[in-house]
Structure 1
Amino acid sequence: MSSTYNWRLTDILRGESRTNRKLDTLPPMGVIVSQLKHCTVCRSNLDQHHIRYRIYCYKSEPCLSALVPCQFKLKTLTCERSKQSHLYQHDQHFAASAPNQRPQLSLAMKAAIRELVEKDVKPSRIRNELVDSFTLSTGAVPALKQIQNFVYNYRRSTIMNTNVVEDMEEITAGSQLFDDLRDTTPFTFGYPLDEDGAPELGDGSDDDPLVIGITTQFLLKAAARDPDVFVFHMDATFMLVTCAHQVIVCGISDAARQFHPMAFFITSQRTTVQYSHALRTLMDIYKVVVGRPFLVRYCMGDAEDAQINGVEQTLAAPSASVPSKPEVHYLMCFFHVVET
């Protein structure tokens, strides 16, 4: 059947939620073909997993009753392993066959929405603000779904504010460490990669926690000091994020009472597993950038069992690469990294 269509690739979307949001923006459609095939989306192991192959057609009354029937078709290829989707289009949808066009967001409305998004205003409240600010009649008010999509895209693409796992995987994939990266350019680390080199982030549950490290080469190189002349700090804070996940801040303080941040970790939980993973990956990336192990003699943190256990399992415990480490003295106090 596919040979009768002239398919044109229109979108490549990573994640089931993003594909569903794309389909939600289209007029009502029905599935006319749905079957499993060997994957043609991924670059490896094509014969070991499958894609869901679907073809859609419009089923709205204007499309079906038009003098010249709408020939538009949509094909989706969704990998069942990576959830990446390729969207293809055949022919064009007749805009004239949909006479009741929904109200559109004007440039002035979009500018107003951007200002409200910066203030963390919810989409439903934004819709009410547009009605009052632009004196819109009932028929001229954009749908809440339109506003939600615009807000989501602006947060994700401009201010990089998102709590969708698929979006974070795309962001981390484009912000990894490479040879020619400038010392002051941030990069992410601390997460596993699949066989295609794509990040595999947890969903934030207890069984699949989320841990993402963020730093720069400059910050790591600035911490290259003798362990006797600095204090290593680790503190969890909720003041640096807007999507509920806490941030673990790691850094050092010197004899001049100056604090030098080393890395920030976004984490879904505060257990020994997360603390150990954060410290272990920090030590690994430090050795890659600086060229020698990161040694700590004094560590200041909270009076928290999970944090203490994490320090004992990583900073204090000998490893194959560093069989001999200085004795770590754990100092307990309340240390505020960011003053609000």
Structure 2
Amino acid sequence: MPRTKMTLVLLARDLSLYDSDMLLESLKDYVVSKSGLSPCSLCTEPTPHNMRTRLLTCKCKACKTVAPYAHCPWKGKAQTCILSNVVRISEASQHVSPLRPPREARLTEEMKAFARDMCTYNHKHMSIYNGIIRRFQVSEAAMSKLATVQRFVQHYRHAHLGGSDFLDDVAAKVWEHAYQGDEESSKPFTFTWRSDANGNPIMTKAKLIREVTPMKISIDFLTGTGPQAAATLTLHVVSDQIERVYDA
């Protein structure tokens, strides 16, 4: 069955990131269903570059109440030029319900920029959350949830600050020194309650790397969450010095 082509209605074009954020905040609650890059058609810059297109779908509780077993036909499209940061926003169809219930607070572009700056200096999630409240003078009731700030900071740290650069190296070191039962007393080894089919220690959740020294590192591994899970174990692994490793 062929797909029906959307008839988009232009809401605004050539907006700045700040103005586009304000316009998107004025819409009913939505979620980004798809996001991708394609050759830019928003500006006249001669340099080849891309634009990011985000497809929006309705997430409004009022529409869900009116049509609990159907999807709201409203669609949105936000296109952002990667080079010039101009934004074009369009929409298609109408919402099932015209009601506009209160939507959850979201991080604005200014808040995100502030969080990125604090994340660069390796501040903790709670410090960044409290810093946003003090910097922008918003109440906790009007502020985004702490979990939202945690997800944003963690994603930015892993994507742009090398937050997960050494996790594979650490796992390889742990498996290399897995306990076999015939180790000498002076030979370092790792030990967990469970092992896989190859005899490698099962690391369900890597918590963090505590200490870095020129000769060895101390690693905390949470080996499970069930009723028979072991307590947090400190594993000593002989390794080259690792300069930075963040929370997994």
TM-score (norm 2): 0.36
